[in-house]
Structures are given as structure tokens and as C-alpha cells.
DNA sequence: AACTTGCACAACCGCGGGGTA
DNA sequence: CTACCCCGCGGTTGTGCAAGT
């Protein structure tokens, strides 16, 4: 396992948010050379990032086929069904949602679905009196790590009504992926 | 108008598995 | 057979933005 970074140039490694320039370098490099060994790719491209970081950036954000924002109702349903089946196997779930990344699905689940499940569970617990004190606790706990302990159709009905992706992806503050790709086309080749 | 709180997303970290020398 | 390296996964944290008070 890679407990020890075999690289002695740790001081050189950049962390934190990616800059437009770094994105362009990575896109450009992959466009010309394709994906390869990430560590050497990072070095060859002249990026002061770990291969790991490059891979993550590429897979979750820069890949041309990645779809961002606006998770549809169908996708929500699918995510819920697959999660019921497999638990937190995000990458496995992501494979069934073309263009979606495991990270995005994971975030979506944590920030929205899980929250609604918890709320629903709490509401149910409250309305059903305190007769099942222990039971309610375990239910909530079950919702927390739904891994393999709950049954598929057990999602609260009011989940359907939850406010979908209301933010119509207004996150393009600076530049969109289209911009980047057109830039790299101008830049590269 | 300023401050506080909550939400959503991007990125990092640690761990485990598989492949190769 | 063992050790090392790289990849991929899942969990967690940090940051920016928006809404509410």
C-alpha cells in the first residue's frame, strides 16, 4: 500500500482548488497523449499535482462526457434503487448512470436524499408516539448507514416531493466546460 | 445592511486490492 | 515469495454561496 510517498519532492506538490491553467494543461495533455499512468502523467504534463489528484480532477470534472448538475427524477429513482441494492458502492452505482461520477452521486446522496430520509424517519418516529423508543433509534441509525440493512422500497413516500435540483447549475461563475474545451482546442493542436 | 446558519460541491486522505519486478 | 507501486474506492473536510434573521 502506498503509505509512504516514494517521492521526495513533497514540497513541490500543489494542493487545493485547480486553476484554469492547470485544467488546460491536463486536458491538453490527455487530449494529445491519452490517459496513462497518472503519476507519470502528472510529471510529464508539468503539473505539480499528484497523479491521484489529476485522476480525480479528470474523472470528476474535466472529462468531456461528464454531466454536471440537474440530476433528473429518473436518475434519482435509479440511485435510490441501486443504493438499496448495493449500499454505498458509489462507483458501481455510477456505472449505471452515464456521465455521472461516483463523487457526484455520493454528494447528492449525502446532501439531499439522506437528509430527507432522516427527516422522514424523525417525523415518523414522532408521530408514531414514543411506544417504539428503541425501534426509532435503530431506524434512524439504519438510515444513516443504509448499507445492506434496509429493504429497497422503504424510502419515505414524501421523498418524491423533495425539491429537486433547484439550482439550475448557476455555478458557471467563470467558465464552463465548453469554454475550457474550446480553449484547449485553440491552445492545443 | 450586517451577521449567522445551512447547503451544495470540490477536493483531499487513508485504506485495500491488483499487478509487476 | 516478497516488496513495491499504482489505481480505485469510500469517507471526510474545506470553501463558497444563498437564504434567513
Euclidean distance between CA atoms A160 and A117, whole angstroms: 11
Nucleotides of B under 7 A from a protein CB: 7-18
Mean pLDDT of A128-133: 46
User: Which nucleotide lies closest to A92 by the C1' atom and the CA atom?
Assistant: C9
Delimiting residues of CATH 1.10.10.60 domain(s) in chain A: 10-67+175-187
Euclidean distance between CA atoms A21 and A27, whole angstroms: 10
A168 touches strand C (CB under 7 A): no
Backbone angles phi, psi at A23, to 5 degrees: -60, -45
pLDDT at A159 over 60: no
Name the more confident of A173 and A188: A188
Radius of gyration of chain A (CA): 21
For residue A179, the model assigns a pLDDT of 67
CA-angle at A140, arms to A135 and A142, nearest 5°: 90
Residues ≥6 apart with Cβ < 8 Å to A114:
A143, A144
Assign domain A10-67+175-187 to its CATH superfamily: Homeodomain-like (1.10.10.60)
pLDDT at A181 over 70: no
Mean pLDDT of A48-58: 90
Amino acid at each position: 500500500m502506498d503509505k509512504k510517498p516514494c517521492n521526495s519532492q513533497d514540497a513541490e506538490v500543489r494542493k487545493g482548488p485547480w486553476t484554469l491553467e492547470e485544467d488546460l494543461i491536463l486536458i491538453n495533455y490527455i487530449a494529445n497523449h491519452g490517459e496513462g499512468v497518472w503519476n507519470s502523467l502528472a510529471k510529464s504534463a508539468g503539473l505539480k499535482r499528484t497523479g491521484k489528484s489529476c485522476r480525480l480532477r479528470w474523472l470528476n470534472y474535466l472529462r468531456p462526457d461528464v454531466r454536471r448538475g440537474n440530476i433528473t427524477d429518473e436518475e434519482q429513482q435509479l440511485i435510490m434503487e441501486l443504493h438499496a441494492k448495493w449500499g454505498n458502492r458509489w462507483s458501481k452505482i455510477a456505472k449505471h448512470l452515464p456521465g455521472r461520477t461516483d463523487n457526484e452521486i455520493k454528494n447528492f446522496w449525502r446532501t439531499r436524499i439522506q437528509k430527507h430520509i432522516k427527516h422522514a424517519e424523525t417525523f415518523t418516529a414522532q408521530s408514531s408516539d414514543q411506544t417504539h423508543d428503541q425501534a426509532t433509534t435503530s431506524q434512524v441509525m439504519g438510515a444513516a448507514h443504509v448499507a445492506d440493512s434496509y429493504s429497497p422500497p422503504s424510502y419515505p413516500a414524501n421523498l418524491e416531493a423533495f425539491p429537486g435540483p433547484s439550482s439550475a447549475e448557476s455555478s458557471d461563475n467563470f467558465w464552463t466546460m465548453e469554454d475550457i474545451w474550446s480553449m484547449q482546442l485553440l491552445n492545443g493542436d
